């Protein structure tokens, strides 16, 4: 392990980290923005959800590298290709959580709100979404962590990310570079995860502080890292 390599290549490492972060976080956020209306519709009109879920399951079965490749003719070997692909995968994870979160709002709460004179839109924004927030954020966390990890794979189609450290490290038989890459990807993912936990705590002061991790595993979409 050659420690000196790190500071001497600090600028490059930092650049790659920023790029990887960008390629990981943006898709998750866009995915959230698209998932919310989709999930709200699916929670409200129940017949809509099963076909959506089937589509999600099929899309999520597509290996991420294959989806990158499929998008190349349309978007080239660019950031856009990776972002579109990762946004799609984030959607697959977040939509079921939006639906689950909204459906978990107890019916008596919704009925009380309606009885007090909340219109459907106001009730959705001020009551249902806040109560569904923990579950939705749990989905977002999975989306962000997976995206950051998968973004490094984009290096195989030439899209710059921390994956460069893996490939260069292999070509030069230089383990240090690979370790650095691994540590940074994992650290980046876990830091973003932690930030989202803090966001959740800030948004939901009524909840006990401990992590509700079990909620994630209960959502129907197979939750997995895509390589």
- Tell which positions 136-165 bind other proteins, by CB under 8 A: 142, 145-146, 148-150, 152-153, 155-157, 162-163, 165
| Helix 10-44 and helix 49-61, axial crossing angle in degrees, nearest 10 | 150
Q: How many CA atoms lie within 13 A of 160 on its CB side?
A: 8
Q: Is 76 left (phi over 0), alpha (psi -120 to 50) or beta?
A: left
Find all residues with CB under 8 Å of 112, minimum gap 6, and list them. Answer: none
Residue 69 found at the interface with other proteins (CB under 8 A): yes
Minimum distance from residue 106 beta carbon to other proteins (Å): 16
Residue 104 found at the interface with other proteins (CB under 8 A): no
Q: Can you tell me the distance from the alpha carbon of 194 to that of 218, in angstroms, rounded to the nearest whole number? A: 20
Residue 125 found at the interface with other proteins (CB under 8 A): no
Nearer to other proteins, 118 or 160 (CB): 160
Nearer to other proteins, 207 or 211 (CB): 211
- Tell which positions 41-60 bind other proteins, by CB under 8 A: 57-58, 60
Per-residue burial over 59-85, b = 16 or more CB atoms within 10 Å of its CB, e = otherwise: ebeeebbebbeebeeeeeeebebbbbb
Beta strands in 11-164 (DSSP E): none
Structure tokens at 132: 């569904």
User: In this chain, which stretch among 2-10, 37-45, 112-120, 175-183 interacts with other proteins, using CB under 8 A?
Assistant: 175-183
Residue 185 found at the interface with other proteins (CB under 8 A): yes
> Residues interacting with other proteins, by CB under 8 A?
57-58, 60-66, 69-74, 142, 145-146, 148-150, 152-153, 155-157, 162-163, 165-167, 169-170, 173-175, 178-179, 181-182, 185-186, 189-190, 193, 213-214, 216-218, 220, 222-227
């Amino acid at each position: 392990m050659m420690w000196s390599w790190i500071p001497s290549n600090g600028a490059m490492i930092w650049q790659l980290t920023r790029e990887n972060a960008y390629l990981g976080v943006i898709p998750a956020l866009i995915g959230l923005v698209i998932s919310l209306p989709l999930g709200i519709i699916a929670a409200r009109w129940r017949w809509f959800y099963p076909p959506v879920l089937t589509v999600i399951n099929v899309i999520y079965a597509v290996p991420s590298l294959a989806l990158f490749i499929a998008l190349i003719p349309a978007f080239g070997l660019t950031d856009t290709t990776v972002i579109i692909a990762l946004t799609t995968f984030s959607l697959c994870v977040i939509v079921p959580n939006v639906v689950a979160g909204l459906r978990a709002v107890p019916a008596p709460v919704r009925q009380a709100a309606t009885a007090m004179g909340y219109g459907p839109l106001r009730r959705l924004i001020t009551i249902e979404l806040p109560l569904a927030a923990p579950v939705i954020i749990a989905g977002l966390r999975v989306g962000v962590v997976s995206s950051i990890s998968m973004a490094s794979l984009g290096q195989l189609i030439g899209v710059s990310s921390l994956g460069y450290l893996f490939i260069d490290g292999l070509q030069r038989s230089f383990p240090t570079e690979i370790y650095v890459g691994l540590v940074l990807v994992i650290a980046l993912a876990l830091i973003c995860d932690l930030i989202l936990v803090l966001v959740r705590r800030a948004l939901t002061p009524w909840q006990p502080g401990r992590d509700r991790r079990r909620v994630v595993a209960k959502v129907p979409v197979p939750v997995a890292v895509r390589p």
